[in-house]
Structure 1
Amino acid sequence: MTKPKILISDKMDPRAAEVFRERGCEVDVITGKTPEELAAMIGAYDGLAIRSSTKVTKAILDAATNLKVIGRAGIGVDNVDIPYASAKGVIVMNTPFGNSITTAEHAIAMMFALARQIPEANAQTQEGLWPKNGFMGVELTGKTLGLIGAGNIGSIVADRALGLKMKVVAYDPFLSAERAVELGIEKADLDTLLGKADFITLHTPLTEQTRNILSRENLAKAKKGVRIINCARGGLIDEAALKDALDSGHVAGAALDVFVEEPAKASPLFGTPNFICTPHLGASTDEAQVNVAIQVAEQLSDYLVNGGITNALNVPSLSAEEAPKLKPYMALAEKLGRLVGQLEGDAITSVAIETEGAAAQLNQKPIVAAVLAGLMRVYSDTVNMVNAPFLAKERGLDVREVRHDREGVYATLLRITVTTADGSRSVAGTIFGKGEPRLVEIHGIKVEADLDGDMLFVVNVDAPGFIGRLGSALGQADVNIGTFHLGRRDAGGEAVLLLSVDGAVPEPVLWSICQLDGVKKVKALRF
């Protein structure tokens, strides 16, 4: 079997390359390339491991014809065009835990530095001034810390702040009341936080919703004398407005590790009293650099070798332990999705994906994604689990998932029901033997069949002699039948035939079958 091929395009701890090789991947470490040079070489790789220097743009993704996964050694993925990667079917992962403690500790260090004016005191002391009476700091004990973002890093900062006997109030739309109680913090809206906080620290990604979250207007709402720390992302604070707030004294101090433009060679904040900064050092510890390098290598190799998906930003996670268990169900889901996609095509307006029995106990997200991948394949050969949900959304397809605890005739069952202007149609399948996916029902009629290769689907009126006429028509056209699967509602009623054939059935032959007495529908299928 061909080994997955990985490119490490940014400087990274050497342990990353070692992990890739240990896990059965080929790896090249080629850093410092221009976008044009990267585009010229990226087509040879299945995986791309990056830090913040490599910009994965549309041009790079268009050139990455074999790329399956991008791994960011770190948290922020501002340098990756995630929507376009998703449209191209490329998984994007980050490593949110590798540098969480390091970044949280840096934020706490910056808070101490602001509270006691350590950088300025250090500079003047080393100049021989001995400014013992020139710096009057503030204690952290008893002060209120306003946390904007209470995720991985924010929750660690909250824990450390509580240990310093601070009060913590947090604004985070994704923070549940239960999680706030668990962390021992107060959940609040942004205006409440701004009015209460003596210190504000930001720990949120940069999105359209969070850009300039500390705008001129919001800075004006903040408590007079507040001190602000940002070790998350440049662009969360209006830097010009922060400069004015520092000059006026409304903001008593600010500490930034990140800037709108990096490297920050110039900034309106430079030289401002009570302002301190560092050059994006949040993740810069020996431990963090090793951790994120190992984690990104483990995650990419797990996906490319075992099918496990961890910390993905554009597809449901799937652990390496889950992947073998889910594999037959995802194969069944993809085949059933492809079946209804070929039968109903553009007419579909909604799809319901139901599981029961053993299938209902599994992670549903990958199963749903596999159904959509099969269904959307009627539109493109490059559809996969990553881009199928986006294609479905683009087409306005309403997708529902339903899980039943009951167990029916089959120990496990997956049913897909699609809605069209003509009504609803459903297909169902199960897993037989050693993980073999099998169709067991189509349009409410019991039919057992493997879905494989070229097939012919026929709906007809059940009548004596029909099967013989159909066989003769195919034989005269030199179409060989492999397997034959028949089901009917009742004697003389509607029947369905599903035939596997040795090759694609030509259009003229399909037309001749349509002319047979009793035929209501004919469709050539391919799996």
Structure 2
Amino acid sequence: MARILVTEAIAEGGLDRLREAGHTVDIHEGLSPDELLQAVPGAHALIIRSATQVTAEVLAAATDMVVVGRAGIGLDNVDVAAATDRGVMVVNAPQSNILSAAEQTMALLLAQARNIPQAHAALVAGRWERSRWTGVELADKTLGVVGLGRIGKLVAQRAMAFGMRIVAHDPFVSPEMGRKMNIDLVDLDTLMDVSDFVTLHVAKTPETIGLIDADRLAKAKAGIRIINVARGGIVIESDLAEAIKSGHVGGAALDVFDTEPTTESPLFGLPEVVVTPHLGASTHEAQDKAGDTIADMVELALAGEFVPFAVNVNAAEASETVRPFLSLAERLGSLFAGLTGGVGELQISYEGEIGGYDTRILTLSLLKGFFGRISDDPVSYVNAPKLAEEHGIGVTETATTTSHHYVNQITIRAGEHCISGTLVGLEGEARLVMVDDHRVDLPPARHMVVVRNDDRPGMIGKVGTLVGEAGINIADMDVGQSASGVSALMVLATTEPVPAEVQDALRSVDGIVSVASLT
């Protein structure tokens, strides 16, 4: 039986099940970093929440560690890469707060529509202001849902019960899946134009930071109301405040903010705004579910059984030939999500020596990278195929031991877009070797931009000038050639993300067809 170290408050029911299984549950809450280093030797499992920092140093000291369990969703406080290197499984409880977050969204939606917090504050302060706080009904109003992940779907279902019409924007959900849910899928500008209320359920990425800004609000339907229980920074708070002051936006309700914790925001002084201090997961049920779930996952891991919510996979499960390609596959998946903007099917091909091996783990890694970029749900090797199914995205795989250009090559294709990568040299350096059927050769970087342009002189200079004038350094660049020899694509690796306004400036240049950020 194992020793399980618990460093933060966990639901007692889950801990009791671990004890009943014969394990020793060793509770030491509030350990300092030095005290944690002293406590982990001899522990086979570590259960934490958000306060305990599981660093590479902690993992090195935990020589008997089998599994680290985070009773919640985020894993910012766990060095997952170091755990994977040491063969330590990392598990979390990704579904523990989904229902609570959806209900918090509905609570804010109703509170905003009926001015409940404002009326309450006035009444307890001695003011009977019945006429001032007249609200609106939800019935027959249009709710725009931005992001149809698990939480977005739950909100849509609940809003339908109030008689609301639902439209949604999610480029990674197929129209057929939308029809099954009785939801009209539209582009974001259309959603903002037709919605009376808009609720956000997207991950915080370079593409979604500042998604709701002054320009988008100005083009939205007059009187629109914004609900955000997703992530701070998706809405530019100062822009939203100004739009409310002008009367164009009817109001807002926010549970998350750009900086947290915070007691200051341009929104706080506006009577049309309802705010809460990030309470989306703050229910007794969500906390209990997280504790119960993580206890179950830890018990399965210690027993050597299948663990549904494992977020890393021991690379020993892959062959010696396939294993080096795991990180490349995940990176290609992430880059491809930025390149496409929306897909209905992913076609994955493996060419060369790896085509003769079991590549299923590479596909899982690729899907993990793809959905890790676009989904508001935590993504693991285990739940990535399920996310593909929920988004209505088909996945097909082909493998061949023949490769025309490289010893090994991985290619992802969807519609007109594709991306390929390989490993080169004795050290197995990752390289991008094709983007949208144009041959390139450069390492995949953290920040990348793909520019499609007319094949004419001076295009490289125009792109380099605009990016340079924005103070952004181009660390690497390649000009891709099509099979016919046409050089009409550039791939840039930059030292920092290329801001949206710089991308827009590039798109306005005569001769540039499209700009896609792969960051």
After superposition, the Cα gap between the structure-2 partners of 1:308 and 1:271, relative to the gap in structure 1 and judged at 3 Å, is: same
Q: TM-score, normalised by structure 2?
A: 0.59
Matched residues, number: 354
After superposition, the Cα gap between the structure-2 partners of 1:65 and 1:188, relative to the gap in structure 1 and judged at 3 Å, is: farther
- Report the counterpart of residue 462 of structure 1 in structure 2: none
Please tell me whether the aligned partners of residues 199 and 226 of structure 2 are also in contact (alpha carbons under 8 angstroms). yes
User: Separation in 1 of the partners of 2:204 and 2:267?
Assistant: 20
SS state of the match for residue 351, structure 1? helix
- Report the counterpart of residue 433 of structure 2 in structure 1: none
After superposition, the Cα gap between the structure-2 partners of 1:341 and 1:195, relative to the gap in structure 1 and judged at 3 Å, is: closer
1:219 equivalent to 2:222? Answer no
User: Separation in 2 of the partners of 1:256 and 1:242?
Assistant: 11
After superposition, the Cα gap between the structure-2 partners of 1:75 and 1:177, relative to the gap in structure 1 and judged at 3 Å, is: farther
Deviations 1:1-37 (CA, angstroms, capped at 9, x unpaired)? xx34433333222223222223343333333334454
- Report the counterpart of residue 355 of structure 2 in structure 1: 352
SS state of the match for residue 145, structure 1? strand
Find the partner of 1:256 among 254, 260, 263: 254
Please tell me whether the aligned partners of residues 45 and 67 of structure 2 are also in contact (alpha carbons under 8 angstroms). yes
Please tell me whether the aligned partners of residues 354 and 402 of structure 1 are also in contact (alpha carbons under 8 angstroms). no
Which deviates further from its counterpart, 46-55 or 156-165? 46-55
Following TM superposition, by how much is the alpha carbon of 1:171 offset from its aligned partner in structure 2, in angstroms?
Answer: 1.9
1:167 partner amino acid: R
SS state of the match for residue 243, structure 2? helix
Output aligned runs, 1:318-357, within 5 Å: 337-338=319-320, 350-353=353-356
- Report the counterpart of residue 138 of structure 2 in structure 1: 140
Please tell me whether the aligned partners of residues 322 and 354 of structure 2 are also in contact (alpha carbons under 8 angstroms). no
- Report the counterpart of residue 238 of structure 1 in structure 2: 236
Deviations 1:95-123 (CA, angstroms, capped at 9, x unpaired)? 23222222211110110000011101111
1:166 equivalent to 2:164? Answer yes
Consecutive unaligned residues of structure 2, counting only runs of 5 or more, are 325-350, 366-379, 382-395, 409-519
After superposition, the Cα gap between the structure-2 partners of 1:55 and 1:252, relative to the gap in structure 1 and judged at 3 Å, is: farther
Following TM superposition, by how much is the alpha carbon of 1:129 offset from its aligned partner in structure 2, in angstroms?
Answer: 1.6
Deviations 1:490-513 (CA, angstroms, capped at 9, x unpaired)? xxxxxxxxxxxxxxxxxxxxxxxx
SS state of the match for residue 229, structure 1? strand
- Report the counterpart of residue 13 of structure 1 in structure 2: 11
Deviations 1:264-301 (CA, angstroms, capped at 9, x unpaired)? 23333322221222222222222222222111111122
Deviations 1:234-261 (CA, angstroms, capped at 9, x unpaired)? 2332233333333333332221222233
SS state of the match for residue 293, structure 2? helix
SS state of the match for residue 103, structure 2? helix
Deviations 1:387-446 (CA, angstroms, capped at 9, x unpaired)? xxxxxxxxxxxxx9659xxxxxxxxxxxx969899989xxxxxxxxxxxxxxxxxxxxxx
User: Separation in 1 of the partners of 2:406 and 2:274?
Assistant: 67
Output aligned runs, 1:52-63, within 5 Å: 52-57=50-55, 60=58
- Report the counterpart of residue 108 of structure 2 in structure 1: 110
- Report the counterpart of residue 376 of structure 1 in structure 2: none
Please tell me whether the aligned partners of residues 46 and 68 of structure 1 are also in contact (alpha carbons under 8 angstroms). yes
SS state of the match for residue 352, structure 1? helix
User: Separation in 2 of the partners of 1:173 and 1:77?
Assistant: 26
Find the partner of 2:178 among 174, 177, 180: 180
Following TM superposition, by how much is the alpha carbon of 1:81 offset from its aligned partner in structure 2, in angstroms?
Answer: 4.9
User: Separation in 1 of the partners of 2:111 and 2:323?
Assistant: 61
- Report the counterpart of residue 441 of structure 1 in structure 2: none
2:255 partner amino acid: D
SS state of the match for residue 48, structure 1? strand
User: Separation in 2 of the partners of 1:179 and 1:341?
Assistant: 34
SS state of the match for residue 255, structure 1? strand
Find the partner of 1:119 among 96, 117, 120: 117
Deviations 1:212-238 (CA, angstroms, capped at 9, x unpaired)? 332444334433322112222223322
Please tell me whether the aligned partners of residues 350 and 420 of structure 1 are also in contact (alpha carbons under 8 angstroms). no
SS state of the match for residue 303, structure 2? helix
Following TM superposition, by how much is the alpha carbon of 1:78 offset from its aligned partner in structure 2, in angstroms?
Answer: 4.3
User: Separation in 2 of the partners of 1:369 and 1:103?
Assistant: 28
- Report the counterpart of residue 301 of structure 2 in structure 1: 303
- Once the two structures are aligned, what percentage of the paired residues are identical? 41
SS state of the match for residue 231, structure 2? coil
User: Separation in 1 of the partners of 2:210 and 2:356?
Assistant: 41
Please tell me whether the aligned partners of residues 141 and 164 of structure 2 are also in contact (alpha carbons under 8 angstroms). yes
Please tell me whether the aligned partners of residues 195 and 221 of structure 1 are also in contact (alpha carbons under 8 angstroms). yes
Following TM superposition, by how much is the alpha carbon of 1:184 offset from its aligned partner in structure 2, in angstroms?
Answer: 1.5
Please tell me whether the aligned partners of residues 351 and 419 of structure 1 are also in contact (alpha carbons under 8 angstroms). no
After superposition, the Cα gap between the structure-2 partners of 1:77 and 1:275, relative to the gap in structure 1 and judged at 3 Å, is: farther
User: Separation in 1 of the partners of 2:183 and 2:323?
Assistant: 49
After superposition, the Cα gap between the structure-2 partners of 1:193 and 1:294, relative to the gap in structure 1 and judged at 3 Å, is: same
Following TM superposition, by how much is the alpha carbon of 1:197 offset from its aligned partner in structure 2, in angstroms?
Answer: 1.9
Following TM superposition, by how much is the alpha carbon of 1:91 offset from its aligned partner in structure 2, in angstroms?
Answer: 3.8
Q: How large is the RMSD of aligned CA atoms in angstroms? A: 3.8
User: Separation in 2 of the partners of 1:210 and 1:87?
Assistant: 32
Find the partner of 1:48 among 46, 49, 56: 46
User: Separation in 2 of the partners of 1:58 and 1:239?
Assistant: 37
User: Separation in 2 of the partners of 1:145 and 1:129?
Assistant: 32
After superposition, the Cα gap between the structure-2 partners of 1:341 and 1:274, relative to the gap in structure 1 and judged at 3 Å, is: closer
After superposition, the Cα gap between the structure-2 partners of 1:401 and 1:199, relative to the gap in structure 1 and judged at 3 Å, is: closer
Following TM superposition, by how much is the alpha carbon of 1:55 offset from its aligned partner in structure 2, in angstroms?
Answer: 4.2
After superposition, the Cα gap between the structure-2 partners of 1:80 and 1:268, relative to the gap in structure 1 and judged at 3 Å, is: farther
Deviations 1:326-358 (CA, angstroms, capped at 9, x unpaired)? xxxx99x76xx348999xxxxx97412456xxx
User: Separation in 2 of the partners of 1:35 and 1:189?
Assistant: 48
User: Separation in 2 of the partners of 1:29 and 1:295?
Assistant: 18
User: Separation in 2 of the partners of 1:132 and 1:158?
Assistant: 31
Please tell me whether the aligned partners of residues 66 and 301 of structure 2 are also in contact (alpha carbons under 8 angstroms). no
Following TM superposition, by how much is the alpha carbon of 1:39 offset from its aligned partner in structure 2, in angstroms?
Answer: 4.5
Consecutive unaligned residues of structure 1, counting only runs of 5 or more, are 317-329, 343-347, 356-363, 371-384, 387-399, 404-415, 425-527
Please tell me whether the aligned partners of residues 352 and 407 of structure 2 are also in contact (alpha carbons under 8 angstroms). no
Please tell me whether the aligned partners of residues 195 and 221 of structure 2 are also in contact (alpha carbons under 8 angstroms). yes
